[in-house]
Chain A
Amino acid sequence: MSLLTSSFKDYKELQLAYSSPAVVLGIFRHISLKAQHFLMIFLFLDRMDEKSLVKFASSATEADEVLQELKSLMLYTCTGGNISMHAEVQKQLKAMLNGPILCTLRTKSKPDKRKPTIEDIYKITQNNWKNLIDYLIGLRERVSVSILRLLLHSGLVYQNGQEFPKTSECFRFLLKPQSIQIEFLLKHILAASSDKVKTAVFLFNLSLAELGRDYSTKDTNRGIIEDLTEIGLLFKCKQRSKRYYVAPPVIGLLTDSSKPIPLTEKFLTVETNFRIYAYTQSDLHIVLLSYFLKLEYRLPGLVVGFLTRDSVCDAFKEGLNANQIVDFLKNHSNSVPQNVSEQLYLWEKERNRISEYESYMLEEFADISLYRSTLNFAQGSGAYLWDNFDRRVIILHKSKAEPVLKYLQSLDRIVS
């Protein structure tokens, strides 16, 4: 599971995190079905011969892949050809069979006097999330310093003097569904935190939280709660309040693979003539579309644009690829005509087919032997790009041409 593996360099920390049922559940729900299947086989076995494991997979390579996946998460140990499951994980998984895993976040003993309605939580957290996105698409001027730090850390923006321009990672981020965006940010919050085990346990538990229930801020450090509140993943009535509520999109995000993926709005109509009609009033949609469309008309509730070679190539330059654009179109429309998606791939292919190098050309060689020796030298020095024997032409990387030129000069001296 990406959220964990990339954050924990230290296996000890990972082991500690496994003492939390929420973490184990989160891991279990996010590994591949095959890996889940393997874990279930292990559940009541103390150890198993590595070779007999192949029986449970369709092929040796598959067994290997699954073991790799489990190993990256430290879910099993192997001693003398015998495989056994991580004891703590085994225990947690067994417990899971007996009943639901409960959220271990601490609650307040006294009820909240200013308890917000669920609608309020929805509205305010949604609005805060929108503010973040608006900042990323350039419709808002600023975010708080700590969020900016998070964005820098997660590579969505970079620092250039006083400016914080968006990276190409940011363009890709924006085209993704919200659940993936949230997971991405949580991963970076975890990676940046000082006590990773504590944070991981906290974040996984958020996913088990109950909508509309208040929790105490004691489970993790203030900074994380503030950040999560600012980007609309948690809700607090007042900044100084000691209790928080969890935003709906976070609930179930990490631990519930059966959570229905919210239906993405099918607001796009893609035509065979490369026109795209977007039934939307959302600024976010418009900005996203502007990344790869030539926008033409904006009507109340309808945006009309054109997919052109130039507009798409601009998007490629920003770091998007054809697959991401096609995915975006497919996610948001009922169908993408084949000629349009193929064309996007062709544009990309065409772009990748040509590379330009600054180069240096050598010609008018006095004789064949000079040509040959220069060629040899150039090939040896790594400066060689292309040559043509008939025309006695050699082309070199400009940046690496220097030694070859020196070599030629030295030959000159010998000749003269």
Chain B
Amino acid sequence: MEDRLPAKRRIRSPPESISKYFDFDFSNFKLKENHQELPLWICSNGHIFLETSAPSYLQITDFLIAIAEPISRPEHIHEYILTRYSLYAAVSVKLETEDIVSTLQRYSKTLEIPSSVIDFININTAQYGKAKLVLKQNRYFIESPYENVISDLLNIESVRKGKEAASDVNMEIQESHVEDVKEEMIRIMDGENPEDIEKVESCCVANEYIPQIRQDCHKENFPLIEEYDFIKDDKSPRLEIDLKPSTHIRSYQEKSLSKMFSNGRARSGVIVLPCGSGKTLVGITAICTVKKRAVILCTSGVAVDQWKRQLEMWSTIDPALIACFTSQNKDCTIDVAKACVVISTYSMMGYGGKRSAESASVYEKISRVDWGLLVMDEVQVVPADMFRRVIFDVKSHCKLGLTATLVREDNRIEDLNFLIGPKLYEANWLDMQAQGFIAKVQCIEVWCPMTAEFFQEYLNAKPRKKLLLYVANPNKLMTCQYLVKKHEAMGDKIIIFSDNLYIMELYSQHLKLPMIKGNVGHSERSRILFNFENTNACNTILISKVGDNSIDLPGANVIIQISSHFGSRRQEAQRLGRILRPKINSMDNDFNAYFYSLVSQDTQEMWYADKRQQFLIDQGYAYKVVSLTEEIQRQNDLMFYKKEDQKTLLEKLLQARDMDDDIQVDPDDITPEAMSKKSADAFSSNTSTTTSRSYQIQAHSRNRLFADRYKKFKKNK
């Protein structure tokens, strides 16, 4: 079974030759009479176009977000796609097959909707609810009230193996569970006659097979329901926690949580909200709802502190019940017998090597008990293999993933469907911006021409050096300094992002700016951030990629990005997120925050910049391209203004040994070559998730490299 509808080309050949221009021609469908009031165009390959001007736009958006993935949501027309995961998410929030089909039919502009779409919905929703995956006393069971479902499932290799590996439990007949399970199933199948459910089959499967089982069952169209009836769960201790009366939940936060907690149970899944829109509060509210032991995982020690502070700020929890398990705090005291909240980092929990004695003991305690809720912040980092371990060692009834950017440059974002659960909610950035929940940001791409000397070296340099040369392009350094000056004069708070540490130090020395990077200690970091937030002495800071996520700087309103991680869409969006917290004048129509991305012209950086921006463009952001060359030339007090200084810099760069910066192997390390190969693959299979995006990436790779042409030019000689 494919994840998406196969992209059949030219299904019927319409009579006119004009259809040769199109990949997809559905012009022979008939329109409804009142089609102008209806919002949807449904295409037979599962793509759906939504007109935002239609009167029913708001209702239908909620519905589409539940059943389909948004591809792009600019101002006028949104594009969605139906996938099996999106449909799985739909049925798991209790939308039934007929509801989905009839709603689409009602809102479609065409009289009929393509039969392939109806079939796709049927196939991917029909079997839902036949089998269930439950956690009981630290073991997982697959249960079904239907005869033969379990035996069918045992045909799946991973289920069989999982059962064999758990044979110690399966030896005992699970009579004790049967009654519970039966009752549960009756409730889930509400409407079904309880008499029909005579027997509940159950089998225990070993933990390590769980993700594979989830995935395989999904493929066989037996998605396993995972719902946690936390109200009835009296085996886990109750956590005393509530939101403070003064805590106010915004409408979209409530909406996203309602997807998680409808019908009084908690279901696992991912909630996607823009940075700065209060994801933390969503996580805290979820903990307050479940009221059981909870683990919160985040990406850094700074983020752990932020979560702790927020928990104390928004909820009534006794601070003694919060344990922070971090590399600075390996021996934290946790009493897992009682209900508590553990906050830790992915690297701490997912660490595969030998642990210190204190750390190992804490870890052992955590992995011994069932947790009510596992909250995963910035969940887009989880699929990396090291993080998979976390999910299996921390056994939880329910998992909540939080993220702003559900994109990765590898295809592994889909793994989240098995590791955590379907996407439950995804907010629309432009709508939230219009309502003043997030800042109105102007994105600006500044083209900085390479100086002749740097470009000459660039053409002949090895890849690593190339990177250094386009990042250190003196015109770029000057542009950055110019922008800092300009915005400081306006009283703005500026963050300069650089992935490249060498260049960062250069800036720091020349401009006397504090910097935050990997080896800056926790207390020093906190001091710099405090000064930036609270004093006028420090209005600009330099941050390396350690600050991409989770550093919360509500005061910052300008970002200048001088070097970045290749074509990572996620990084671009995360960085933008640093200035998305609503600003005081956020109801004005004017922009109140600025995101500058400085790009060296004619270099690979242009290619990467196009790719990086794709996610934000899909959210409706428009990048304005500007060139500040003339303004820069009028300044004569900028660093590297003088040709000699530029020359010295160049020599220094060329002599520098290979930069040992902190770039690790990352899924986002995609080079143009790898990317073109990838998109070729995507086109041939037609079903790969990258298809639609790679289209767009191609569409925007506006700057086929000058250097390529130069090579051609050279050959011609």
Q: At the interface with chain B, which of A76-84, A188-196, A197-205, A295-303?
A: A295-303
Beta-carbon contact of B17 and A139 below 8 Å: yes
Q: Is the CB of A339 within 8 A of B77?
A: no
The interface-forming segment of B317-325, B362-370, B470-478, B709-717 is: B709-717
Question: A294: which B residues are within 8 A, CB to CB?
Answer: 699
A395 contacts B717, C-beta separation under 8 Å: yes
B26 to chain A, nearest CB (A): 5
Chain B residues positioned under 8 Å from A337 (CB to CB): 622
Most chain-B Cβ atoms within 10 A of its Cβ — which of A277, A298, A347, A354? A298
Tell me if A308 counts as interface (CB < 8 A to partner B).
yes
Q: Which residues of B contact A (CB under 8 A)?
A: 16-19, 21-31, 35, 41, 43, 47, 49, 72, 74-77, 79, 109-110, 617-618, 620-625, 695-696, 698-704, 706, 709, 712-713, 716-717
- Given contacts A287-B18, A361-B717, is CB(A275)–CB(B77) below 8 Å? yes
| Given known A-B contacts A271-B77, A308-B699, A298 and B22 have beta carbons under 8 A apart | yes
Please report the C-alpha to C-alpha distance between residue A287 and residue B16 in the assembled complex, in whole angstroms.
Answer: 12
For A338, give the chain B residue with the smallest CB separation: B624
A346 and B601 alpha carbons, distance in the complex (Å): 12
Question: Does A273 sit within 8 A of B, measured CB to CB?
Answer: yes
Chain B residues within an 8 Å CB radius of A350: 702-703
If over half of A's interface residues share one DSSP class (helix, strand or loop), that class is named, otherwise mixed; here it is mixed
Subset of 20 A-B contacts with CB under 8 Å: A271-B74, A272-B617, A272-B622, A273-B620, A286-B21, A297-B22, A297-B25, A298-B21, A299-B26, A304-B49, A308-B699, A309-B700, A337-B622, A338-B622, A346-B702, A354-B709, A356-B713, A359-B717, A360-B717, A361-B717
Let me know if A342 is at the binding interface, CB within 8 A. Answer: yes
Decide: A339 and B623 in contact? CB cutoff 8 A: yes
Alpha-carbon distance A135/B702, docked complex (angstroms) = 33
| Contacts A273-B72, A298-B27, A395-B717 supplied; 7 other A-B pairs, CB < 8 Å | A283-B18, A295-B22, A297-B49, A299-B26, A300-B110, A309-B700, A359-B717
A residues less than 8 Å from B704 (CB atoms): 309
Q: With contacts A271-B74, A354-B709 known, is A296 near B625, CB below 8 A?
A: no
List the A residue with the shortest CB-CB distance to B53: A269
Complex contact A309–B699 (CB within 8 A):
yes
Please name all residues of chain A whose beta carbon is closer than 8 Å to the beta carbon of B618 when the two chains form the complex. Answer: 273
Q: In the complex the two chains form, what is the Cα distance from A303 to B77 in whole Å?
A: 12
Evaluate whether A272 and B74 lie within 8 angstroms (CB atoms) in the complex, with A286-B21, A342-B625 already known.
yes
User: Which residues of A have CB within 8 Å of B110?
Assistant: 299-300
In the assembled complex, A307 has its CB within 8 A of some CB on chain B: yes
The answer, yes or no, to whether A343 is at the interface (CB within 8 Å) is yes
A245 within 8 A of B: no
- Contact digits for A267-281, partner B, Cβ 8 Å, 1 yes 0 no: 001011111010001
Q: Does chain B have a CB within 8 A of A306? A: yes
Residue contact B706 to A354, C-beta cutoff 8 Å: yes
The smallest C-beta distance from B568 to any residue of chain A, in angstroms, reads: 19
A321 at the interface (CB under 8 A from B): no
**Is there a chain B Cβ closer than 8 Å to A290's Cβ?**
yes
Q: Which residues of B contact A119 (CB under 8 A)?
A: none
Which of the residues B18, B43, B701, B706 comes within 8 Å of A297, measured between beta carbons? Answer: B43
Name the one of A274, A304, A359, A360 contacting B700, with C-beta atoms under 8 angstroms.
Answer: A274
Is there a chain B Cβ closer than 8 Å to A412's Cβ?
A: no
Q: Is the CB of B24 within 8 A of A296?
A: yes
Query: Could you say which residues of chain B place their CB within 8 Å of the CB of A10?
Result: none
Determine the chain B residues whose CB is within 8 A of the CB of A163 once the complex forms: none
Q: How far is the CA of A302 from the CA of B29 in the complex (A)?
A: 11
- Whether A358 is near chain B, meaning CB under 8 Å from some CB there, is yes
Question: In the complex, what residues of A have CB within 8 A of residue B712's CB?
Answer: 356
> How far is it, in angstroms, between the C-alpha of A295 and the C-alpha of B17 when the chains are bound?
14
- Let me know if A339 and B22 touch, CB within 8 A: no
Mark interface residues in A349-389 (1 if CB within 8 Å of B CB, else 0).
01000101111110000000000000000000000000000
Q: Tell me the minimal C-beta distance from B631 to chain A in angstroms.
A: 17
- From residue B19, how far is it (CB to closest CB) to chain A in Å? 7
- Name which residue of chain B comes closest to A355, CB basis: B713
Docked CA distance A356–B706 (Å) = 12
B23 touches A296 (CB 8 A): yes
Taken residue by residue from 247 to 288, chain A's Cβ proximity to chain B (1 for < 8 Å, 0 otherwise) reads as 000000000000000000000010111110100010100110
Chain B residue contacts of A308, Cβ below 8 A? 698-700
A305-323 residues at the B interface, CB under 8 angstroms = 306-310
Q: Which residue of A lies closest to B714 (CB)?
A: A361
- Min CB–CB distance B222 → chain A (angstroms): 34
Residue-wise, chain A 384-415 has the 8 Å CB interface mask toward B (1 for contact) of: 00000000000100000000000000000000
A272-B621 contact, Cβ under 8 Å, with A299-B43, A307-B699, A309-B704: yes
Give the interface size class of chain A: 35 or more
Q: Is the CB of A297 within 8 A of B26?
A: yes
Of all chain B residues, the one with the shortest Cβ separation from A340 is B622
Nearest Cβ distance between residue A95 and chain B, in whole angstroms?
Answer: 52
Candidate in B18, B19, B35, B43 with the most chain A CB atoms within 10 angstroms? B18
Please report the C-alpha to C-alpha distance between residue A252 and residue B109 in the assembled complex, in whole angstroms.
41
Residues of B within 8 A of A290 (CB): 21
**Chain B residues whose CB sits within 8 angstroms of the CB of A273 once the complex forms:** 72, 74, 617-618, 620, 696
Distance (whole angstroms) from the CB of A64 to the closest CB of chain B? 32
- Inter-chain CA distance A354–B47, complex, in Å, is 39
B656, chain A: closest CB distance, angstroms: 23
Please, which residues of chain A bring their CB within 8 A of the CB of B79? 275
Residues of chain A within 8 A of B24, CB atoms compared: 296-298
B22, B622, B700, B701: the one within 8 Å of A296 (CB): B22
Residues of A within 8 A of B72 (CB): 271, 273, 275
Chain B residues near A356: list those with CB within 8 A. Answer: 709, 712-713, 716
With a cutoff of 8 Å between Cβ atoms, the chain A residues found around residue B75 in the complex are 271-272
Nearest chain A CB to B648 CB, angstrom units = 19
Whole-angstrom distance between the alpha carbons of A307 and B700 in the complex? 9
The 8 A CB mask of A99-136 against B (1 = contact, 0 = none) is 00000000000000000000000000000000000000
A298 to B43, alpha carbons, bound, how many Å? Answer: 9
A269's partner among B18, B21, B77 (CB-CB below 8 A) is B77
| Cβ of A412 to closest chain B Cβ, rounded Å | 21
Give the distance in Å from the alpha carbon of A308 to the alpha carbon of B610 in the complex: 12
**Which interface residue of B49, B701, B709 has the most chain A CB atoms within 10 A?**
B49
Q: Do A283 and B701 touch across chains, with their CB atoms under 8 A apart?
A: no
6 shortest interchain CB distances as A-B pairs: A272-B622, A308-B699, A339-B622, A361-B717, A271-B74, A309-B702
> Could you say which residues of chain A place their CB within 8 Å of the CB of B35?
301
Q: Once bound together, how far apart are the Cα atoms of A275 and B618, in whole Å?
A: 10
Q: Cα distance A286–B77 when bound, in Å?
A: 19
Q: In the complex, which of the residues B41, B76, B709, B717 contacts A302, with contact meaning CB atoms closer than 8 Å? A: B41
Please give, as numbers and ranges, the residues of chain A lying within 8 Å of B18 by CB-CB distance.
139, 283, 286-287
Q: Which residue of A lies closest to B19 (CB)?
A: A298
Q: Is the CB of A300 within 8 A of B74?
A: no
Distance in Å: Cβ of B488 to nearest Cβ of chain A:
27
Say how far A349's CB is from chain B's closest CB, in angstroms.
10
Enumerate chain B residues within 8 angstroms of A357, measured Cβ to Cβ.
716
Chain A residues within 8 Å of B27, by CB: 281, 298-300
List the A side residues contacting B22 at CB < 8 Å: 295-298, 303
- Name B77's contact: one of A277, A298, A301, A309 (CB within 8 Å): A277
B547 smallest CB distance to A (angstroms)? 27
Residues of B contacting A338 with CB < 8 Å? 622, 624
Q: What is the chain B residue whose CB lies nearest that of A286? A: B18
Question: Is the beta-carbon distance between A300 and B699 smaller than 8 angstroms?
Answer: no
A275 CA / B21 CA spacing, docked (Å):
16
* A299: min CB distance to chain B, Å: 5
Question: What is the distance, in angstroms, from B8's C-beta to the closest C-beta of chain A?
Answer: 13
Docked pose: A295 CA to B695 CA in angstroms = 12
CB distance from A113 to the nearest CB of B (A): 39
Cβ contacts under 8 Å, A299 to chain B = 26-27, 29, 41, 43, 49, 110
Determine if B709 and A295 form an interchain contact, defined as CB atoms under 8 angstroms apart: no
